Amino acid sequence: MGEGKAEGWLKRLHYAFSSISFSSSELTSISSSRVNIEENAVAGSLIKLVYFSRHQDRLTNDKRKKTVKERFGISNGNRRSYPILGGRLHFVKFETSKINECLDFISSKQLHCGGMDSHCWHSETSPNGNALIKATGGGAYKFADLFKERLGVSLDKEDEMDCLVAGANFLLKGSRLFLSLFEYDETSVLVTIGMMELLLAIRHEAFTHMEGQKEFVQIDQNDLFPYLLVNIGSGVSMIKFERVSGTNVGGGTYWGLGRLLTKCKSFDELLELSQRGDNRTIDMLVGDIYGGMDYNKIGLSATTIASSFGKAISEKKELADYRPEDISLSLLRMISYNIGQISYLNALRFGLKRIFFGGFFIRGHAYTMDTISFAVHFWSKGEAQAMFLRHEGFLGALGAFMSYEKHGLDDLMVHQLVERFPMGAPYTGGKIHGPPLGNLNEKGGLALNIMVLGRPDLILESLLISWMEKFVQKGTEITAPVPMAPPGTTGLGGFEVPSSKGGTLRSDASALNVGVLHLEPTLEVFPLLADPKMYEPNTIDLSDHNELEYWFTVLSEHLSDLVDKAVASEGGTDDAKRRGDAFAHAFSAHLARLMEEPAAYGKLGLANLLELREECLREFQFVDVYRSIKQRENEASLAVLPDLLAELDSMTEASPFFLFLIGIKSFNNETRLLTLIEGALAANIFDWGSRACVELYHKGTIIEIYRMSRNKMQRPWQVDDFDVFKERMLGSGDKKPHPHKRALLFVDNSGADVVLGMLPLARELLRRGTEVVLVANSLPALNDATAMELPDIVAEAAKHCDILRKAAEAGGLLVDAMINTSDGSKENSSSVPLMVVENGCGGPCIDLRQVSSELAAAAKDADLIILEGMGRALHTNFNARFKCEALKLAMVKNQRLAEKLIKGNIYDCVCRYEPVS
């Protein structure tokens, strides 16, 4: 297939499925792919919706990508090179009683009939011509007519047990998705052009929960089976490939009895009551029978529950004499223990050590998980372990999602999508500015922002907006609160009364009605990591509560300034203000949630926190908050670049005779190298993520600050390996070192940082015959330069420098120059190339376990890595070890970090050089 055609269908690519298909839109940023529903008449009775949306095609820097692919030999073998686009797997839930909201939602997102094109189409439909939505659970039957009537779609019923297993396998093992690729041919007829198989892998899905402590479990995918899956809905199903057992005492029992006995209005209210309960007033304990004593002979403590609700028979009390809180707790413990016990017995029956619990009965409730864990531990004498799943409530819906009938497998490709960003994005409303939403006529209105679900719907905008408006108002109402995890809840073995149940409820993302798994194509482990298994990206340990609190405070304090900048970056419109508020709300909710439970979204590091902020901005359609600041600083820096290069060049090679005369081997080279490193460190001061630096910017111009920063560059720096690095670069004595073959320069900020700091350093390496790959962010984060922006910056710099120009041409960065060549490439160019690759990140730090495939490919021949900036060289990777030489350069722009990490002060510098060990 020719490239032109590929580009054509790139724009019009459609993923479709056997029973329901969705088309993408060129006008909008995300296209829906498929959807399925699970209704469960359970605990609270919820409808769960799962659908996939594809990221926007990023076409703009396609030429750079093409050169990078050619240069690094990235290919799909003899498979066709279909673009593999990342996307998001969305998890949405609705109360069954609000089925109309669910229908409005599906309709507003056009999930039932495909994208925004005026001609929506279905690859396959039901025999009567309707589109199909996969559905499982009781609702698949109950709502079939309603769906037909309101949306014109048929519900294709999937077996619930099969779906649960498929859903759990998907989460635990990663799974294969088969997607059909469609394109329009010249006559606008849709044709299938192939199949694609996607492998989805999700980290930090399973965890244990004992005595208030959550711990993620690394699942060995080759050793996952067999396991017992216990799905606690209204009833309880225990599944080992097929339903092997169950119990009628489940979530429905808790809710049903609880409702009758306490008059609670909702499942969550009942659960919340249990937080304040004391079950000893109702349960008969061993001590009640044995005069306050333990029954040591059979290992039962006095506080063990001998009989749930047992005290109620021996006392002449009426229901009204018992506190609803105590009743709720007693019920919860009775049911949770029972489920834990029966589950263990079934695990024993089938010889299974691992038991996964799912279903909405649990809904992230710490005490419930502790109680189940305790029961499993207790009855198995510590042999078996209860594990829980982050997406516990969505197993059935996910399973149905996976069940879309597979097409023929010809022309199959396997690609891996990995979870990049394990955050549930909360749905949160914002203060309303300006006209009511229904009157807003702008593209990209609140719809998508608040819902975190995607993108403006140009065609059904009014419908979408009115639906959103409703949601804004109902936000908190719909967002079910989940009780807080009290530390050490169960005390001595789970039969104790919870010691601290707390009176507050947390804003739990697991209870928020929307969650998102971000799936990125082909993220790989950086091949130059010395020991990927031991690699831990984050330097600061956020499990230290003081650290956590400090960084939360920093981020909270930045917030209002960030919102102002974000709103301004979108023109300060009413819509932007609304989104700004919604962003602040959502981000604060995330912070609050993580403060209560740091591991809520998986293991938490500073890199995740900083990326969360960027991700939240993106969710609310703030594409690039620092765009104009970056442009301004790039322009100012590019204007002074020729002077800087001239200054560097004035430090020319002195004649060997002269050097001999003054008794120095390489005076000028050394000065130049030092000037270059100083320059890179000094320019790292331009960091809009640092509070202290931002204050500085109000006091002077870019050039003034840059000059001041350079003047302050006094050695020794707080971490100063310059002399060792210099020796490697310039040699000592008569030894002339070989130049590096290829250097990967992980660049940081726009403006002076990249233009006056890293580009001159790159130029020096190029001059020595080293290939240079500039590694930059895939997505904007603070004022970091992105891979998309770098070619223009380099092109501008190249106007003033022959070395950069030739290298950029050789690396395919100067596209116009390339076009002038006969073969379209500069493979034959004598100059060493300068290239740009994206790193796969959207935050200011970098987790080298997940980098773009182009970076992984570029790393192949690299023998020097230069990591620059606080985010990439200090917050992350400070302790990382590599298979090749590494230079870590950063200015520390935070007093506390300076004290902790390098026993220094703010604005101190780090120049850490690590030879190959």
Ligand X SMILES: CC(C)(COP(=O)(O)O)[C@@H](O)C(=O)NCCC(=O)O
The binding site for ligand X (CB under 6 A) comprises: 554, 610, 684, 687, 689-692, 748-749, 782, 844, 869-871, 875, 890, 893-894
Nearer to ligand X, 57 or 748 (CB): 748
> Up-side HSE of residue 765: CA atoms within 13 Å toward CB?
26
Q: Cis ω on the peptide bond leading into residue 716 (within 30° of 0)? A: yes
Annotate 666-721 with DSSP letters as a single string: SHHHHHHHHHHHHHHHHHTT--TT-HHHHHHHTTS-HHHHHHHHHHT--SSPSEE-
To Mn ion, the closest distance from the beta carbon of 645 in angstroms equals: 24
Site residues for Mn ion, 678-707, by CB under 5 A, read none
With contacts defined by CB under 5 A, name the span among 281-289, 522-530, 603-611, 784-792 that binds Mn ion.
784-792
Contact predicate 233/448, CB 8 Å? no
Element (H, E) at 54: strand 46-54
Nearer to ligand X, 240 or 888 (CB): 888
Q: Rounded CA gap, 618 and 821, in Å?
A: 39
Nearer to Mn ion, 833 or 869 (CB): 869
Is residue 784 close enough to count as binding Mn ion by CB under 5 A?
yes
Nearer to ligand X, 418 or 683 (CB): 683
691 binds, among Mn ion, ligand X, none (CB under 5 to 8 A by kind): ligand X
554 binds, among Mn ion, ligand X, none (CB under 5 to 8 A by kind): ligand X
610 binds, among ligand X, Mn ion, none (CB under 5 to 8 A by kind): ligand X
Q: Rounded CA gap, 547 and 896, in Å?
A: 10
Question: What mask of x and - would describe binding to Mn ion in positions 746 to 775, judged by CB under 5 A?
Answer: --xx--------------------------
CA dist 762 → 720, 753, 791, 868 (Å): 20, 13, 14, 12
Only one residue has tokens 């993580």, namely 594
How many Cβ atoms from other residues are within 10 Å of residue 185's Cβ? 12
To ligand X, the closest distance from the beta carbon of 554 in angstroms equals: 5
893 binds, among ligand X, Mn ion, none (CB under 5 to 8 A by kind): ligand X
Q: Rounded CA gap, 682 and 179, in Å?
A: 49
Nearer to ligand X, 19 or 690 (CB): 690
Q: Read off the DSSP letter of residue 567.
A: H
To ligand X, the closest distance from the beta carbon of 148 in angstroms equals: 52
Helix orientation angle between 251-262 and 324-349, rounded to the nearest 10 degrees: 160
Question: What mask of x and - would describe binding to Mn ion in positions 813 to 852, judged by CB under 5 A?
Answer: -------------------------------x--------
Q: Rounded CA gap, 779 and 623, in Å?
A: 9
To ligand X, the closest distance from the beta carbon of 741 in angstroms equals: 27
Nearer to Mn ion, 798 or 837 (CB): 837
Is residue 104 close enough to count as binding Mn ion by CB under 5 A?
no
Nearer to Mn ion, 103 or 790 (CB): 790
Size of the site for Mn ion (CB under 5 A): 5
To ligand X, the closest distance from the beta carbon of 607 in angstroms equals: 9
875 binds, among Mn ion, ligand X, none (CB under 5 to 8 A by kind): ligand X
Nearer to Mn ion, 268 or 633 (CB): 633
Nearer to ligand X, 684 or 709 (CB): 684
To ligand X, the closest distance from the beta carbon of 875 in angstroms equals: 5
With contacts defined by CB under 5 A, name the span among 27-35, 350-358, 447-455, 866-874 that binds Mn ion.
866-874
To Mn ion, the closest distance from the beta carbon of 687 in angstroms equals: 5
687: which 2 tokens? Answer: 């960091």
Q: Rounded CA gap, 482 and 465, in Å?
A: 28
The SS3 assignment for 320 reads helix
894 binds, among Mn ion, ligand X, none (CB under 5 to 8 A by kind): ligand X
How many Cβ atoms from other residues are within 10 Å of residue 650's Cβ? 9
With contacts defined by CB under 5 A, name the span among 292-300, 343-351, 715-723, 778-786 that binds Mn ion.
778-786
Q: Rounded CA gap, 579 and 563, in Å?
A: 9
The residues near 344 (Cβ < 8 Å, ≥ 6 apart) are 355, 375, 376, 379, 380, 384
With contacts defined by CB under 5 A, name the span among 112-120, 252-260, 375-383, 742-750 that binds Mn ion.
742-750
To ligand X, the closest distance from the beta carbon of 673 in angstroms equals: 22
- State in Å, rounded, how far the first CA of the chain is from the last one: 47
SS (H, E, C) 125-136: CCCCCCEEEEEE
To ligand X, the closest distance from the beta carbon of 772 in angstroms equals: 20
690 binds, among Mn ion, ligand X, none (CB under 5 to 8 A by kind): ligand X
Residue closest to 397 by CA, chosen among 586, 624, 168, 152: 168
Interacting residues toward Mn ion by CB under 5 A: 748-749, 784, 844, 869
